[in-house]
Amino acid sequence: MANDPRLSGPSVRGIPEGDNRERTICADCGYILYDNPKIVVGSVARWGEQVLLCRRSIEPRYGFWTLPAGYLELNESASAGAEREAWEEAYARIEIEGLLAIYDIPRISQVQLIFRARLLDAAISAGSESLEVGLFNWDEIPWSKLAFPSIGWALQQDREAHVTRDFTTRINPPGF
């Protein structure tokens, strides 16, 4: 973060006046760099009973399966970000139906917002961050090859929501 253009001079680490955490501070102008968690947006996109998965062509977890998801961009709404990620990773057009889950992942400083979505058509193909994409029935999901624990959480919680018709927003499973 010391290469941040807002830090006009050399940077130092310190606790700014009135704060309680160490931050990066520009030694020349006093600018304080607040290094905050990253927000990831994505979706469990359905086509009937099938869900859209993308096989990653990038690290981390190259070759593993994931939901279409990625970092929220500046000046972008969370739902628009999820729609953009579905397009970038699978050329999938989706309609957001609601927020499925909010996952807190403090060890990597992430907050993940995963939406429930409906594919507007089944015309999908791999984008630049995907080796391949596919629509999977529940018993076809490659559970042992999912890229991240939160992908499994979202798939399980989406299924539960559809079975119970309880579409309240979920959170991390107990113990995570």
CATH of the domain at 20: 2.20.70
Statement to judge: residues 87 and 118 lie in one domain: yes
| Residue pair 120/94 in contact by the 8 Å Cβ criterion | yes
Model confidence over 83-137: pLDDT tens digits?
A: 999 999 999 999 999 999 999 999 999 999 999 999 999 999 999 999 999 999 9
Q: How far is C-alpha 103 from the geometric centre of its chain's CA atoms?
A: 9
Reported pTM:
0.90
- Kindly state whether residues 30 and 43 are assigned to the same domain: no
Contact 141, 101 (CB under 8 A): no
The CATH code of the domain that includes 67 is 3.90.79.10
Residue 169: inside a domain, yes or no? no
State yes or no: pLDDT of 82 exceeds 90: yes
Name the region of 160 (left: φ>0; alpha: ψ -120 to 50; beta: rest).
alpha
- Residue numbers of the domain that contains 135: 38-164
Domain count, the chain: 2
Is residue 25 domain-shared with residue 104, that is, in the same domain?
Answer: no
Same structural domain, 30 and 47: no
- Kindly state whether residues 90 and 118 are assigned to the same domain: yes
- Are residue 99 and residue 27 in the same domain, yes or no? no
pLDDT higher than 90, residue 176: no
Residue linked to tokens 């520009």: 26
